[in-house]
């Protein structure tokens, strides 16, 4: 196309991005959180089965050809810095994910990730809300916090951990997803379907909504609190019907971490996904000792969408992949 040399985002959106970056750097400087950089390319990859990394085959060390994975998030190397005693840190970086393209997805996007030693998950939600209020220049921006279980019980009348799969399926059909009859999903798949189709559009419409305390099966790298009804200490931030951020009370136990990597790799193998080299450096760092901390990753492009009042990610990208 003749005009494809032009930016897709308006120049106003380009300027809004610059203001956003300056604003968040000011916010963290004031709070003495250190800005850091870690590599985009790594010999290891996070084996999370829900996220597919891109890779590059090249000889980067002079020691022969190797496979390098583009980061899907800077989480693993940042935890190595924390284990080495960095104190609170943040990073703004590009991350990459294969097979993700849509109105709210772009294979390359900008992530803000930060870690707070000594913070509980609630402390981190407080700071997250303060950051968004600061960037939106709206000190009165409301917020609500609701657990995953209460959200499903209140809005859909199902219990995420105890309802039968058939109940989850018939709820999806009742909610207007007629084709749910033909879907073959596991429990987390049904919960993801209900959350993304029926619940998410209503979240964060009156301000910020923190959804927290996830089923242990969706813990990812969050600490699990045992008990009669164990939960993963994880939160997601929603604003204007859109998922913006994912935070964890970070898992610090090296053996637990090794086990989750193994479980993830087993799930990948079962689904026919490529195996990935787990991060031995991270396991060594956890073995050395990760301070108790909470951390969160925020999609800056989506936050910018909210701040600019746009609804397609391309509206805040200078050059989306089709014009890159």
Partner 1 sequence: MASYKTNEFKGGLKIMLDGDPYTIVENEFVKPGKGQAFSRVKVRNLKTGRVVEKTFKSGDSVEAADVHETDLQYLYNDGESWHFMDTETFEQLGADASAVGDAAKWLKEQDMCRVTLYNGAPLSVEPPNFVVLTITQTDPGLRGDTATGGTKPATLETGAVVNVPLFLEEGESIRVDTRTGVYLSRAKEE
Q: Which is nearer to partner 1, 53 or 68 (CB)?
A: 53
Cα distances (Å, whole numbers) of residue 275 to 52, 54, 182, 221: 11, 13, 29, 19
Report which DSSP code applies to 136: T
Cβ 65 to partner 1 shortest distance, Å: 28
Judge contact between 292 and 298, C-beta under 8 A. no
Query: In angstroms, what is the minimal distance from the CB of 259 to partner 1?
Result: 18
Nearer to partner 1, 196 or 205 (CB): 196
With beta carbons less than 8 A apart as the criterion, state whether 302 and 105 touch: no
Q: What single string gives the DSSP state of each residue in 233-289?
A: EEEEEEETTEEEEEEEEB---HHHHHHHHHHHHHHHHHTTPPP----HHHHHHHHH-
Q: Which is nearer to partner 1, 10 or 175 (CB)?
A: 175
CB-wise, 70 or 242, nearer to partner 1? 242
Q: How far is the CB of 98 from partner 1 (least distance, A)?
A: 10
In angstroms, the first-to-last Cα distance of the chain is 13
* Residue 100 or 150 having the CB closest to partner 1: 100
Q: Which one, of 98, 91, 73, lies nearest residue 36 by Cα?
A: 91
Cβ 29 to partner 1 shortest distance, Å: 28
Closer residue to partner 1, CB minimum distance, 83 or 195: 195
How far is Cα of residue 286 from the mean position of the Cα atoms in its chain?
21
- Identity of the residue, 68 or 234, whose beta carbon is nearer to partner 1 in the bound complex: 234
* Residues in CB range of 221: below 8 A, 6 or more apart: 75, 248, 250, 251, 257, 260
- State the greatest distance between any 2 C-alpha atoms of the chain, in Å, as a whole number: 62
Q: Which residues pair with 42 in a beta bridge?
A: 69
User: Could you tell me the smallest distance in angstroms from the CB atom of residue 120 to partner 1?
Assistant: 21
Q: Across the strands, what pairs with 115? A: 89, 295
| Contact of 73 with 93, CB cutoff 8 Å | no
For partner 1, the closer of residues 57 and 99 by Cβ is 99
CB nearer partner 1, residue 10 or residue 256: 256
* Positions that interact with partner 1 (CB under 8 A): 48, 50-51, 99-105, 176-180, 183-185, 188-189, 191-193, 195-197, 200, 218, 220, 236, 243, 246
Minimum distance from residue 137 beta carbon to partner 1 (Å): 26
CB 19, min distance to partner 1, A: 25
Q: Minimal distance in Å, beta carbon 314 to partner 1?
A: 13
Query: What H or E segment, with its residue span, contains residue 309?
Result: none
In whole angstroms, how far apart are CA 130 and each of 3, 20, 135, 143, 230? Answer: 40, 14, 9, 10, 29
CB of 215 to partner 1, least distance (A): 11
Strands 66-70 and 41-42: antiparallel
């Amino acid at each position: 196309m003749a005009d494809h040399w032009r930016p897709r985002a308006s120049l106003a959106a380009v300027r809004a991005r610059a203001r956003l970056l300056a604003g968040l750097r000011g916010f963290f400087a004031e709070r003495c959180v250190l800005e850091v950089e870690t590599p985009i390319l790594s010999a290891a990859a996070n084996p999370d089965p829900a996220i597919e990394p891109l890779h590059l085959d090249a000889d980067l060390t002079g020691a022969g050809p190797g496979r390098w994975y583009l980061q899907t998030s800077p989480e693993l190397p940042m935890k190595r810095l924390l284990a080495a005693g960095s104190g609170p840190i943040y990073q703004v970086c590009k991350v990459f994910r294969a097979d993700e393209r849509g109105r709210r997805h772009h294979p390359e996007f900008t992530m803000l990730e930060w870690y707070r030693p000594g913070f509980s998950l609630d402390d981190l939600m407080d700071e997250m809300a303060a950051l968004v209020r600061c960037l939106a220049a709206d000190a009165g921006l409301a917020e609500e916090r609701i657990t995953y279980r209460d959200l499903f019980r209140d809005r859909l009348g199902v219990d995420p951990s105890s309802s039968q799969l058939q109940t989850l399926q018939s709820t999806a059909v009742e909610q207007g997803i007629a084709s749910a009859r033909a879907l073959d999903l596991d429990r987390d798949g049904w919960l993801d379907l209900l959350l993304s189709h029926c619940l998410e559009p209503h979240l964060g419409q009156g301000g910020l909504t923190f959804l927290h305390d996830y089923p242990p099966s969706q813990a990812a790298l969050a600490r699990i609190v045992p008990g009669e009804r164990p939960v993963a200490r994880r939160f997601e931030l929603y604003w204007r019907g859109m998922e913006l951020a994912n935070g964890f009370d970070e898992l610090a136990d090296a053996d637990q971490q090794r086990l989750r990597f193994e479980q993830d790799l087993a799930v990948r193998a079962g689904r026919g996904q490529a195996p990935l080299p787990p991060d031995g450096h991270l396991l060594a760092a956890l073995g050395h000792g990760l301070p108790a901390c909470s951390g969160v990753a925020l999609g800056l492009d989506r936050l910018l969408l909210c701040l600019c009042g746009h609804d397609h990610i391309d509206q805040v990208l200078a050059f989306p992949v089709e014009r890159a």
